[in-house]
A and B are shown apart, each in its own frame.
Chain A
């Protein structure tokens, strides 16, 4: 069976971490599934894929039916099979988890997805054209999902992507170990074959303006994610590398990525973990993650933290950066101050307080920061109502501006942002938009 090729040469440090299941492995694993009724894995999946159904189809050799089952609930099944934190979702809820090993749901899903993508099988086709037009802003998981679902329903969709390539974080922001670029690109090509028209290099709000979209389209969906890392506001910050750019280069131009020998990654979320992993895998001798709180407050998933420790990364807790030391721009170290945790702050986590006089300098020749992403300014420019800086939407994913819908990371005011949640937003928004378009004749 042909597999989706990896951007990095097989055997390289960055190749996809988990090998594909062989056909026999997949059949054996799928046969272990008890086929729970009203299964908890399906409940746990944000897109509610009928997991026992697709797994049973693998065991009977109905791979096409299996793929269809997945894609009916989640058009980005190939990405989600790889990047979903399955321990926190489907596999975490598997009834075999308590005493045995949960079913490898993610890997089985990948098996079914590789089957159709490897054979270039289009499971769905464009719906019957209904003379309605929708603009989708942002070619990441939320936008692709929304665009694909609408195209399936016969809506004419134009998908605006600011970057050169579609896929959003799947293409640019998730390390190859978890998802090779080709997987994300193959999905966006599938969405285009469904009929969505992709326009890259279009920074909506600048060119074209949103007003133009409102004029030319029956509805607009915004799924443009979030922005760059926020500023730390410390001297020498200009010599700190942005984490998402670091990952992006590791995916698209790995030979152009400078990796230090002694790397500090500021932050303790999943992106910080990915940066630390890339640094280690591309030759850094020492990689230290720096976090001002403790393991308990880390936003990285426990399994990701466990993984990065096995990669040989250490985490320095309760320390906060204060100055980047450098000689003519060449980083020499990061001065930090020790932290004590105080009362809970607005985020509900213990507020960090500097311990005066506890400064120390951690030697480093490269510093990467992965401390979250800024909210985008588009919401403010469009005068959309927000919630903690995120676009506010109602239960139909409609913003405060009628006809403008939104989903994905840009609306994720609560809960942790994830690809699969963005896919679900896009899907549900597409259904709400379609209903609106149909009802309004």
Chain B
């Protein structure tokens, strides 16, 4: 049984799963129930400047029958009085000494406002503070949230004010609405923060109602960008997480990173850990299914760690980071080809049309006599189940033409039906960097490239 406990910049929790600062952590009553369900920690919904909220504040992106692949929101920070929040924070922490209680804060960009809120949070007995530099709507219009996170200098300055008075660990939460996530992270490092968390929500407009032609959701006939979150974000979050892990300044600072952005299952969680997160925050999945999902988050992660012989969370953290690289370092001679398992193939022919229309035209339709045939060449008088099934051609990869692009693998509806099989390289191993260091001309002149390809026997399809 794997040890799921973590010690994140001095904040301890029995498992790495914290509720992110968001609607599920709006009140003490909710967090009590979350802790009863087994959550390791909770980042209290951001407290700070006074606000008022609007209706129709959550929008959803659905695809097919999937109801909430992403959520967006224009909800602001906590709309409950600060006194009430602080009292409940203290109550929760007293009731749950073994859980991580972190308080997210956002106030006007004045040193005294920050000093005040930090001191008041510390008085509750909370375990840590998260600085919300990410909220992309409403608060940013007032110079807070992402208006801070998008400017590394502001980020550094305000974090500095916080560190002046902070006695408990301070986590700087980054906005993804920026061209290079590394810059604000370095600012946090420079200001002496204790940890980083990412990502906050992404600017988004959910859509337009095709009946009313209003922006959806419509807020009294208006709508605008809101913060985008949920499963659809995961690849974006993983990229930004890895970018911090690969940055020497951030990496060498030793600051732990709390990862979030689309974590819905233990599988997502494990991937965030492998790319360098050492605590994990979850919101949208709870907004969809409730606090109960913590059970499988822990159970699944623990079983996977046992199977992979990871004894404790720190053993997993950053394990796959070393494999993150850049195109220039990829082996150009590495070769895979698609291979279709005819026993598993259900003959939907989606791979055929994808390859033919959108990739490299290397899947053939082969009839019963072994001939390559065009689609829909059956006699129109032919019909019925028996004809349709027995006359259906097979899809076969022309392996010598396959570039191994993986499109067919990605769209095949049958698990493990198409395998990307590694084959012996046809050229010696070389990366783009190595090649162009030795032969810079191939990157500058197509004739030189042609000559190189010809010499090496590289065929382009």
Contacts and interface: CB of A to CB of B under 8 A. Distances in A.
B370 interface: no
Interface in B370-397: 375-376, 378, 380, 382-385, 387-389, 391-392
Nearest to A424: B383
Interface in A310-331: none
Nearest to B392: A40
A43 B350 contact: no
A48 B388 contact: no
B380 A95 contact: no
A413 interface: no
B428 interface: no
B348 A34 contact: yes
A88 B64 CA distance: 29
A382 interface: no
A36 B65 contact: no
A89 B346 contact: no
Interface string A62-95: 0000000000000000000000000111001101
Nearest to B346: A95
A46 interface: yes
Interface in B11-69: 64-65
- What DSSP secondary structure best describes chain A's contact surface? loop
Contact of A38 (B375, B380, B384, B413): B375
A232 B424 CA distance: 75
Given A36-B350, A95-B348, A43 B375 contact: no
Nearest to B210: A61
Interface in A296-314: none
A398 to B, nearest CB: 16
Contact of B392 (A43, A46, A98): A43
A396 to B, nearest CB: 12
A27 B353 CA distance: 24
A231 B391 CA distance: 41
B174 to A, nearest CB: 36
A35 B350 contact: yes
Interface in B381-418: 382-385, 387-389, 391-392, 413
A128 B52 CA distance: 64
A93 B389 contact: yes
Instruction: Give the one of A28, A38, A93, A99 with max B CB within 10 A.
Output: A38
A336 interface: no
A267 to B, nearest CB: 23
A45 interface: yes
A41 B388 contact: yes
Interface residues of A, number: 27
Nearest to B385: A92
B353 A37 contact: yes
Contacts of A39: 348-349
Nearest to B378: A43
B347 interface: yes
B376 A44 contact: no
Nearest to B374: A38
A34 B350 contact: yes
A31 to B, nearest CB: 4
B412 to A, nearest CB: 10
Contact of B65 (A28, A96, A424): A28
A45 B349 CA distance: 18
A145 interface: no
A88 to B, nearest CB: 5
A144 to B, nearest CB: 20
Interface string A21-60: 0000001100100111111110111101000000000010
Given A43-B383, A45-B383, A48-B380, A37 B65 contact: no
Contacts of B348: 34, 36-37, 39, 95
A38 B395 CA distance: 12
B413 A34 contact: yes
Contacts of A44: 383-385, 387-389
Interface string A85-116: 00111001101101100000000000000000
Interface string B337-378: 000000000111110110000000000010000000001101
A46 B384 CA distance: 7
Nearest to B376: A38
Nearest to B391: A43
A36 B383 contact: no
B347 A43 contact: no
B65 A95 contact: no
Nearest to B395: A37
Contacts of A37: 348-350, 352-353, 375
B375 A96 contact: no
Contact of A40 (B347, B352, B353, B413): B347
A345 to B, nearest CB: 24
Contacts of B352: 37-38
A38 B383 contact: no
Nearest to B356: A37
Nearest to B375: A38
B293 to A, nearest CB: 23
B375 A89 contact: no
Nearest to B411: A34
B210 to A, nearest CB: 9
A38 B392 CA distance: 9
A240 B413 CA distance: 55
Interface of A: 27-28, 31, 34-41, 43-46, 48, 59, 87-89, 92-93, 95-96, 98-99, 424
Given A43-B392, A46-B384, A88-B384, 8 more contacts: A35-B350, A37-B375, A38-B353, A39-B348, A43-B391, A44-B385, A59-B64, A93-B389
17 contacts: A34-B413, A37-B353, A38-B376, A39-B348, A40-B347, A40-B388, A40-B392, A41-B388, A43-B391, A44-B385, A44-B387, A46-B383, A88-B384, A89-B385, A92-B388, A95-B346, A99-B346
Q: What are the 5 closest A-B residue pairs judged by CB atoms, nearest first? A: A92-B385, A44-B388, A93-B388, A37-B353, A38-B375
